[in-house]
Structure 1
Amino acid sequence: MCYSAQIEADYKKFVREFGAVVDLEVFTQLWLRDNNKTRRPKTPRALDLSFLRPGDSSVAAIAAEIREWDNEEVAQLETKLTKQSERLATAEQKLATKPTKTAANEQRIAGNKIEQIKRRIADLKRANLEARDSRMFPGYYCPVLVSEGGKLVVKPMRYQCRPAGKPATYDERYPGTYNARRDNLEGFWKGEFGHTHGLLLVDTFYENVEGEDGKNRVVQFTPRNGELMLVACLWSHWTDPKGKEPDLLSFAAITDEPEPEVAAAGHDRTIINIKPEHLDAWLNPDPGNLQALYDVFDDKRHPFYEHKIAA
């Protein structure tokens, strides 16, 4: 499974590369602070920053919402920082008078939390982009390219698909629905396969691999030729039949048998990286001709995926 990836999170990249239009209404709804939203949506920081660049009045409303979330989160973090600083001071005072394992453990935990909080605050305040800002995980909202009425459109979607018609509890019952196996597309994913297809732009992806010592390690896979991966996805538009929860756009990346070098590195699946010439066929599927979609998979790109242990 592809549990994480470093993606192209700048919506303008989709506009430049594919001539796509951005669904600003859906992006606005993603960050909109209303009575039904109490928690900030998880997004790669690079996506936030792409809307915070000055000079684009068309996204001013979105930028304002993101800044409000930033300000609120910084305030909450500063409160936590004060509490952890007090916790650290108490632990250090105890260690100075009567050293104990409990006090030493409190000192360590408080110190680690303080560093984590400071890093997050710094991330929320900086404007420059770093590579790690483009990292996404299950539950994150990412820009996905779809086709609507013959036009390419960019929409924000959650990386964990909740199929239409399923209850909201589906997320907890089936937490692995951020990936869709090729050999189960006409089974579990029959409602999406041949109907709602998308594309995710990926630079590099990460997998959990068990090492020789039996411990988990995170391995990073990157195309040797440096080309951007066009990852085939399925997506769904979920609506609450009771009308209590907001609509949800969500997607899953399709995985296939592993490329030889990925298998050699210890992982058993690889996301499907389609060729640019198959873009139209993939995004505008014919549900009556599923074989044509499998043909797209069979003619996928095979860049050599170099790997290394992720930091």
Structure 2
Amino acid sequence: MCYSAQIQADYRRYVKMFGAQMDIREFARLFWERAEGSKAKIPKAMEDAFLEPQTDDERQIKTFIDRYNAEQATKIEQELFKQRTRLADAERTLQTKTTQAATESKRIATDKIDAALRRLADFGRTEQEPRDSRIFPGYYAPVLVVEDGQYVVKPMRYQCRIAGKPANYDVKYPGTYNARRDSLEKFWKPCFGYTHGLLLVDVFYENVMRAKCENTLFETHDGPQAPGENVVLEFRPNNGQLLMVACLWSKWMAPGQPDLLSFAAITDEPPAEVEAAGHDRCIVPIKRENVDAWLNPQASDLAALDAILEDRDRPYYEHRLAA
């Protein structure tokens, strides 16, 4: 499964590469709903595409982003005051008597203060950092689709809720951010051959059992390793190429609830180097010459679509412990 990925979060990359149009209404709806309290998770790099708006629609989106960030900053400042008070109380207690409770309270308050200060700094930061474009299940990302014969970029949630399913589908099937290739004509039948997408990925991350990756990772990387049964590995194509990852998507609608655009990245058996590192699945990057056929699927010829997945890009993936 693709636990996490560092993506091309700026929709303008899709516009430049494919001549795509941005679905401005969907982007505006996403940022408006979040400003209204939807709790949508949006990577910072996706917001930063609107730092210098060029049109009235983009300026409206920036207004939604600024409104949300201002509200979040206020909440963080309130939390910061609370934790600084907690820290001061713990330090006063420790001046007279060392207790486990006060020591633990000081540690927790210090950690929360540091986290709050980092989040506040992020609001004013304009220089990009790798974490700004990293997504996890439940986060939004720009996805390329075809609509009325035109390449279009739409914001979608990375966990697919298939149309017609109940809202609690996300809880019942929490792993639906990935679509197994061997289940495309079964579980994913409503989407495979009908609604295909493409996600641009630079790096992907996987949770791997420590025991499985010890022989390949710990012998080739210096430095102490974190304890525990699982580690997170970063996988990166050694030629630096951008991965055009095959996806399925769906538009979910229900009375009285906001529409939801969501997607899943297709996964398959891993290449040898990923398997040797301890993971049993891998995302499927398709070739550039197959993009148009993938995004214009024919449900009457699923074999041709499966052939695109088989005839995938096969870079060599280098791996290391994630930072």
Deviation at 1:56, TM superposition (A): 4.8
Task: Work out the CA distance in 1 between the residues paired with 2:34 and 2:69.
Answer: 16
Classify the secondary structure of the residue corresponding to 2:201: strand
Classify the secondary structure of the residue corresponding to 1:226: coil
User: Could you tell me whether the CA contact under 8 Å between 1:40 and 1:69 is conserved in 2?
Assistant: no
Task: Work out the CA distance in 1 between the residues paired with 2:210 and 2:303.
Answer: 38
Distance 1:40 1:124, change over 3 A: farther
Q: Say what the alpha-carbon RMSD is for the aligned residues.
A: 1.3
Distance 1:228 1:65, change over 3 A: same
Q: Report matched runs for 1:21-170 at 5 Å.
A: 21-33=21-33, 37-170=36-169
Task: Work out the CA distance in 2 between the residues paired with 1:226 and 1:179.
Answer: 23
Task: Work out the CA distance in 2 between the residues paired with 1:129 and 1:56.
Answer: 23
Task: Work out the CA distance in 1 between the residues paired with 2:297 and 2:202.
Answer: 25
The equivalent position to 1:279 in structure 2, one of 283, 291, 295, is 291
The residue number in structure 1 matching 2:263 is 251
Distance 1:85 1:34, change over 3 A: closer
Task: Work out the CA distance in 2 between the residues paired with 1:39 and 1:119.
Answer: 23
Classify the secondary structure of the residue corresponding to 1:239: strand
Amino acid at match of 1:234: L
Judge which range, 136-145 or 204-213, deviates more: 204-213
Task: Work out the CA distance in 2 between the residues paired with 1:236 and 1:177.
Answer: 12
Amino acid at match of 1:137: F
The residue number in structure 1 matching 2:233 is 219
Q: Report matched runs for 1:182-221 at 5 Å.
A: 182-212=181-211, 215-221=229-235
Distance 1:107 1:214, change over 3 A: closer
Q: What TM-score does the superposition give when structure 1 sets the normalisation length?
A: 0.97
Amino acid at match of 2:27: F
Classify the secondary structure of the residue corresponding to 1:288: coil
Distance 1:248 1:39, change over 3 A: closer
User: Could you tell me whether the CA contact under 8 Å between 1:31 and 1:40 is conserved in 2?
Assistant: no
The residue number in structure 2 matching 1:261 is 273
Deviation at 1:58, TM superposition (A): 4.2
Runs of 4+ in 1 over 6 A off after TM superposition: none
User: Could you tell me whether the CA contact under 8 Å between 1:92 and 1:107 is conserved in 2?
Assistant: yes
Classify the secondary structure of the residue corresponding to 1:51: coil
Deviation at 1:97, TM superposition (A): 1.0
Task: Work out the CA distance in 1 between the residues paired with 2:56 and 2:49.
Answer: 13
Query: What stretches of structure 2 of length at least 5 have no aligned partner?
Result: 212-226
Deviation at 1:155, TM superposition (A): 0.1
**How far does the alpha carbon of each residue in 1:263-295 deviate from its partner, in whole angstroms, 9 at most, with x for none?**
010000010000000001100000000000111
Task: Work out the CA distance in 2 between the residues paired with 1:52 and 1:71.
Answer: 15
Classify the secondary structure of the residue corresponding to 1:52: coil
Amino acid at match of 1:3: Y
Q: What TM-score does the superposition give when structure 2 sets the normalisation length?
A: 0.93
Task: Work out the CA distance in 2 between the residues paired with 1:153 and 1:130.
Answer: 26
Amino acid at match of 1:246: P
Task: Work out the CA distance in 2 between the residues paired with 1:251 and 1:169.
Answer: 16
Between the two proteins, the alignment pairs up a number of residues equal to: 308
Deviation at 1:245, TM superposition (A): 1.1
Percent identity for Structure 1 against Structure 2 = 55
User: Could you tell me whether the CA contact under 8 Å between 1:143 and 1:156 is conserved in 2?
Assistant: yes
Query: What stretches of structure 1 of length at least 5 have no aligned partner?
Result: none
Amino acid at match of 1:157: M
Task: Work out the CA distance in 2 between the residues paired with 1:131 and 1:87.
Answer: 33
Amino acid at match of 1:197: H
The residue number in structure 2 matching 1:13 is 13
Task: Work out the CA distance in 2 between the residues paired with 1:57 and 1:223.
Answer: 39
